[in-house]
Structure 1
Amino acid sequence: MIILLPPSETKRDGGDGNAALDYGQLSFPELTEERQAVSKALIELSGDPDAAQSALGISTKQLFEVERNRTLAVAPVMPALKRYTGVLFDGLDAASLTPEEWAFAEKCVVVHSALFGPIGAGDPIPAYRLSHNSKVPGVPLKRHWRASVTAALAAVEGLQLDFRSEAYAQLGATSPRSVYLRVVTEGADGKRVALSHFNKKSKGLFARALIRAGIDHESIDSLLTWANGAGFRLEPGAPGELDLVVENE
């Protein structure tokens, strides 16, 4: 089983200053050439702060992100699941996982980065800024990633739980063994509506519960049985989807 998470635009500073980005330490080594191409183009773009600001869609106050990208090859690294911040990753709270839980996360959690493609929870990465809709000269991200990421994910055996947004799913499809998680709320009339603001928080909390339980689910039925016993209302939704039904806070 893999739990496929979206990345976050925000990243934690710091990391291991005695190490730097090493593509050989990243999961899915078949994506190395694609990773190197995007990284090279992003570093070159960062030589022109004005062009980089426009391409990344960031404000003047966020120009530190350009410097992060410029020093991508030599910056400190830390495990991916601890690098990302934001609502989903706050809910997952990787820093508080026990060694046993962290080992399960390293085995089963994958984050889909616009810069690196799918990477493992423990893969050492630097801080960077690149979103699915960033405009990198010479490297249109959707066209660059879609075929290779789709092939890489198709080769992964077992159940795939897709927590990504639709935007990141456009950078590579999951396999026929995947199921998309949709966070919804249910009205008094029984009609279900997808959540926006609490979507990421709910996914983070659900991912954390999966990690802490440490069960490598082989089927949707196994997942549904566990979830409902663990206090989650998880039900079949549209074809290829599961609905995580939550209260609208």
Structure 2
Amino acid sequence: MLILLPPSETKRTGGGAPYRAEDLAHDEQLAGTRAAVRTALEELSRDEELAAKALGLGVKARGELEHNRVLESSGALEAMDRYTGVLYDALDAVSLDADARDWMREHVAVQSALFGLVRAGDRIPAYRLSAGSRLAALEAPLKRSWIRAHADMDWAAHGWILDLRSNDYAALAPLPEGVGTKLEVAQRSADGAVRALNHFNKTAKGDLVRRLARSGAELDGPEAFGRWALAEGLELQLGDRPGSATLVTELGAPAGVTGGAGSKRAAR
């Protein structure tokens, strides 16, 4: 099984040994595009005004451009520790025990705008680049460059895939038709109605991955995911559409917690 996560705009600084591009997962397939995107980003980041506009940086965030200028020497952290923000704060990988972190390394990948698909245990530097950024030095737009680079990815080799990426990042490496399960998050209000959840969407996803890691889950498809969710006291609705599922949280409950409503098929 493989869990796909989006990255985060915010990142921890620092790290241990220097970043080594050749150590990243899928290096043979993605190395060329990784090098091209990195070169284009470094070139852009030398011009503060141009970079701030292309990367969507406000005045207070312009200091983050320095990360893009020292990728080689700033130090690397495992991807699951590098990213911060709502989803990664809920995941809180740094507090997981050794077994759960090993599970993360084996079963979780992050869709980076700079590095493409990387494993949770891949060591990466801090950087600033998002899926919607514009890099003029690239031969093709960022999105198109990454789509081409991932086009021949052997997704089937990973077994069942649970896609938690946001739409922008999923578009960088689209899953083939019929591969994997796309998870949405919704909330059950006091009147029993289920509505799309926006504000706590990322929190719920981070909490879900933390639960999976701590349980050491080995799941081979949506039905197994449903049984696991039921045992965890989560409400998971497996949709009528192939490849879709919805995690339902209760109003007022911590994201990801439903009070034991259980897993069930969505009403037809």
TM range (shorter): over 0.9
CA deviation string 1:63-101 (max 9, x = no partner): 111111011122210100000000100110101111111
**Contact preservation (8 Å) 2:189, 2:251:** no
Give unmatched runs, 5+ long, in structure 2: 253-268
1:227 is matched by which residue type in structure 2? Answer: A
Shift of 1:200: 0.2
* Compared CA separation, residues 51 and 153, structure 1 to 2 (3 A): farther
Cα drift, residue 246 of structure 1: 0.6
For 1:212-227, list aligned pairs within 5 A: 212-227=214-229
Identity of aligned residues (%): 43
Question: Is contact 1:153–1:173 with CA below 8 Å preserved after alignment?
Answer: no
C-alpha deviation, 1:156, in angstroms: 3.3
TM-score of the superposed pair, with normalisation by structure 2: 0.88
Give the counterpart letter for 1:23 in structure 2: A
Aligned to 1:24: 22
SS in 2 for 1:182: strand
Q: Aligned partner of 1:26: which letter? A: L
Shift in Å, 1:61: 1.1
Measured after TM superposition, the shift of residue 231 of structure 1 is 1.2
CA distance in structure 2 between the aligned counterparts of 1:149 and 1:6, rounded to whole angstroms? 16
Matched, 1:142 2:143: yes
* Alpha-carbon offset, residue 138 of structure 1: 2.9
Alpha-carbon shift at residue 185 of structure 1 (Å) = 1.5
Paired residue type of 1:123? D
In 1, distance between residues paired with 2:148 and 2:33?
11
Structure 1 unmatched ranges of 5 or more:
none
Give the equivalent residue in structure 1 for 2:255: none
Contact 2:7 2:111 in 1 (8 A): yes
Report if aligned partners of 2:110, 2:119 keep a CA contact under 8 Å in 1: yes
1:108-144: CA deviation from partner (whole Å, max 9, x where unpaired): 0001001101100110100000001111113311110
User: SS of the counterpart of 2:153?
Assistant: helix
Partner Cα distance (1:23, 1:161) in 2: 26
What RMSD over aligned residues (CA atoms) do the two structures have, in Å?
1.5
SS at match of 1:151: coil
Measure the CA separation in 2 of the matches of 1:156 and 1:55.
36
1:165-204 matched pairs, under 5 angstroms: 165-175=166-176, 176-187=178-189, 191-204=193-206
SS in 1 for 2:74: coil
Task: Please give the secondary structure, in 1, of the residue aligned with 2:39.
Answer: helix
Q: Give the C-alpha shift of residue 190 in structure 1.
A: 5.5
After superposition, what is the alpha-carbon deviation per residue over 1:185-210, rounded to whole angstroms, capped at 9, x for unaligned? Answer: 23466553211110000000001001
SS of aligned partner of 1:243: strand
Normalising to structure 1: TM-score of the pair?
A: 0.95
> Retained in 1: the 8 A contact 2:92–2:210?
yes
| Whole-Å separation in 1 of the counterparts to 2:117 and 2:156 | 13
More contact order relative to length (CA 8 Å, sep ≥ 6)? 1
In 2, the alpha carbon distance for the partners of 1:158 and 1:217 equals: 9
